[in-house]
């Protein structure tokens, strides 16, 4: 029974990866962490004077950091659902953290591997031939590239700082 549950979980993980991959490509903006990560990474790499190296460094750490956000979003929606559907199973997972982490890691690995495989298979057709844009990716790239244009970088920083102050003042303690 456990093997079947794990196999079905992997299959459904693959299905959810497929559906959310489409939604993420079709939605121009969503609950993305990448823009925030890019804003946080840009000041850390200002010491790099070569614009190409700077852009690559910020883009790489932004992409790597975004993976955690993707996993957190998926698990943040899935685990409460599991708790309400089967609290006994959820509590047994919580009682055995090593097993819990192993199952979640396996699901994340399977979904990530499937996502990379699909991306590799469709890259030439969708990106090269069809020239389909990935709106959030383009937005993050433009945010990184604007760093070398002083006025636009200043406008971006003022917007980020203003939003941070607004959110802080709006929070109830």
- Smallest CA-to-CA distance from 45 within 149, 136, 144 is with 144
Phi/psi of residue 108, nearest 5 degrees: -65, -40
What is d(CA 51, CA 134) in angstroms, rounded to the nearest whole number? Answer: 22
Q: CA gyration radius for the chain?
A: 20
The pLDDT score that the predictor gives to residue 14 is 63
Share of the chain above pLDDT 90, in %: 8
- Domain segments of the chain as ranges: 2-170
pLDDT digits (tens, 9 = 90+) for 31-45: 567 777 777 777 777
Q: Determine contact, residues 129/43, Cβ cutoff 8 Å.
A: no
Q: How far is CA 75 from the centre of its chain?
A: 12
> What b/e readout covers 158-167, taking b as 16+ CB neighbours within 10 angstroms?
eeeeeeeeee
- 59 has a pLDDT exceeding 50: yes
- 1 has a pLDDT exceeding 50: no
49 or 162: whose pLDDT is higher?
162
- 55 has a pLDDT exceeding 60: yes
pLDDT digits (tens, 9 = 90+) for 103-141: 888 988 888 888 888 888 887 887 777 777 777 777 787
**pLDDT class of 63 with cuts at 50, 70, 90:** confident
pTM equals 0.59
What is d(CA 23, CA 34) in angstroms, rounded to the nearest whole number? Answer: 16
- Collapsing DSSP to helix, strand or coil, 149 comes out as coil
The pLDDT score that the predictor gives to residue 29 is 45
């Amino acid at each position: 029974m456990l093997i079947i549950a794990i196999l079905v979980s992997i299959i459904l993980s693959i299905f959810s990866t497929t559906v959310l991959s489409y939604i993420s490509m079709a939605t121009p903006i969503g609950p993305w962490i990448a823009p925030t990560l890019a804003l946080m990474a840009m000041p850390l790499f200002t010491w790099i004077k070569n614009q190409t190296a700077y852009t690559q460094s910020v883009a790489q750490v932004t992409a790597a950091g975004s993976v955690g956000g993707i996993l957190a979003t998926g698990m943040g929606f899935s685990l409460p659902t599991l708790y309400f559907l089967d609290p006994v199973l959820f509590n047994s997972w919580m009682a055995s953290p090593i097993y819990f982490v192993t199952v979640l890691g396996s699901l994340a690995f399977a979904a990530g591997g499937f996502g990379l495989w699909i991306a590799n298979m469709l890259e030439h057709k969708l990106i090269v031939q069809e020239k389909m844009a990935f709106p959030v990716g383009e937005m993050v790239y433009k945010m990184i590239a604007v760093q070398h244009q002083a006025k636009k970088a200043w406008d971006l920083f003022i917007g980020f700082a203003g939003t941070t102050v607004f959110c802080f003042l709006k929070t109830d303690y």
